[in-house]
Structure 1
Amino acid sequence: MNHKMFRAINRLAGRNSTLDTFMIFISQKTRFLYIFLLALMWFRDNSYKKIILFAGVSVGFSLCINRFIQLFYFKPRPFVIHRVRLLIPSKNNSSFPSKHTALAFALSTSVLLRERLFGSIMWFLAILTSFSRIWLGHHYPFDIIGSAFIGILTSMAIDNTTYLFNSFVTWIISVYRKIIFVN
């Protein structure tokens, strides 16, 4: 079923150059959209800075979980096993977990839990990013779903343990305010 779903999506690649270009852009450049959104949030008030810093903690933990899983589990990418429409080259590392997807959902969920508008936009970008990874031939759908769960659950766990990180986050904001001479 996983391979069939992958084929159904990946077969669409190479048929429409506009969609292919869009999927490549989403996969490679979405991080700049996230940075732009985070910058917009940062220059609001301190509550937004806290959201961003807690999101950073979630992304950091999600990245660690990703690396830990890859130490003990290897699943070949679709283009290694099957003939696929590979639109851009990719590393030949494990298909699961997808770093793009886990990090996108860790960031998006962490923001969504505290700020609905920016979080919803980021979630939409995370879904697009995840879909693009299948479209490009880099990941299977179940790998994407599992990676999304890693990001989401990591963010929820961090959100439920904010008391552990609150003094650290507050300290970072106070250092930032001293550096830029804000009272």
Structure 2
Amino acid sequence: MSFTEVDYRVFQLINDLGNNISILNPLMKILASKAEYVFYVGVVVYWFTRQEKHRRMVAQSLLSASIALAVSGVLGVFFYRDRPFVTHSVLQLIPHPANASFPSDHATAAFVIAASIWIFRRKAGYVWLILAACIAFSRIWTGVHYPSDVIGGAGIGIITAILVNQLFLRSTKALKYLNLFIHGYEVVESKVWRRKTSP
């Protein structure tokens, strides 16, 4: 049995759960199409705690996400394949354009941010990684991705987060520029705050 056949068999097993355990379909729809916003809110909340560690974490996660999604986009062009609902008869629970299936941008984005948080905050990071895994799983359940799509996206996200962190650990110049960016923002933030609070 080829890899493609195994991938489709596993997809069928998960996608068929939408018929067999339909009570979970509303939850899977939310996870597949809305849960990514939890990551955006989380990044904003961490940033505005104004803790140095959190701001570095957020800056790294946003840089990592930009790189990971760029890599995902390039791979989607060079290793293009159709979505499951284009090639097969599937239970499709959410609308989606018939664009590149591999790799999953949702899985890439969720895992790159979750992994970035995990690097700085282990306990909280595990929670974010579990949420990322739920999003990835729901993309298969709802019929818009194959298992290898989300595994590929997760791999891209995690590896990118680790490599970017290693860059800042090993390169004092890179860390200097990151700190300059954060400091520059904080200078502007301080000026804006003073204007708002001044009589």
TM-score by length of 1: 0.92
Whether 1:172 and 2:181 are equivalent positions in the alignment is yes
Structure 2: segments with no counterpart, 5+ residues: 1-5, 195-199
Compute the RMSD of aligned alpha carbons: 1.7
Aligned to 2:29: 24
- Between 2-11 and 116-125, report the one with greater CA deviation: 116-125
- Offset of residue 169 of structure 1: 2.0
Query: Runs ≥4 in structure 1, deviation > 3 angstroms?
Result: 14-18
1:87-110 C-alpha deviation (Å, 9 max, x unpaired): 111111111111001111111111
Whether 1:40 and 2:61 are equivalent positions in the alignment is no
Aligned counterpart in structure 2 of residue 54 of structure 1, from 35, 60, 72 = 60
The answer to whether the 8 A contact 1:23-1:136 is kept is yes
- Offset of residue 64 of structure 1: 0.8
1:3 aligned partner, one-letter code: Y
- Offset of residue 16 of structure 1: 4.4
The answer to whether the 8 A contact 2:76-2:101 is kept is no
- Offset of residue 15 of structure 1: 4.5
Identity %: 30
Aligned to 2:75: 69
The answer to whether the 8 A contact 1:37-1:118 is kept is no
Provide the rounded CA distance (Å) in 2 between the counterparts of 1:127 and 1:165.
Answer: 31
Aligned counterpart in structure 1 of residue 166 of structure 2, from 160, 164, 168 = 160
TM-score by length of 2: 0.85
Aligned to 1:81: 87
Structure 1: segments with no counterpart, 5+ residues: none
The answer to whether the 8 A contact 2:36-2:106 is kept is no
Aligned to 1:10: 15
1:28-60 C-alpha deviation (Å, 9 max, x unpaired): 211221123223322331111000100111101
Give the secondary structure class of the aligned counterpart of 1:76: coil
- Offset of residue 17 of structure 1: 4.8
Whether 1:148 and 2:157 are equivalent positions in the alignment is no
Whether 1:119 and 2:125 are equivalent positions in the alignment is yes
Aligned counterpart in structure 2 of residue 96 of structure 1, from 84, 88, 102 = 102
1:2 aligned partner, one-letter code: D
The answer to whether the 8 A contact 1:14-1:87 is kept is no
Larger Rg: 2
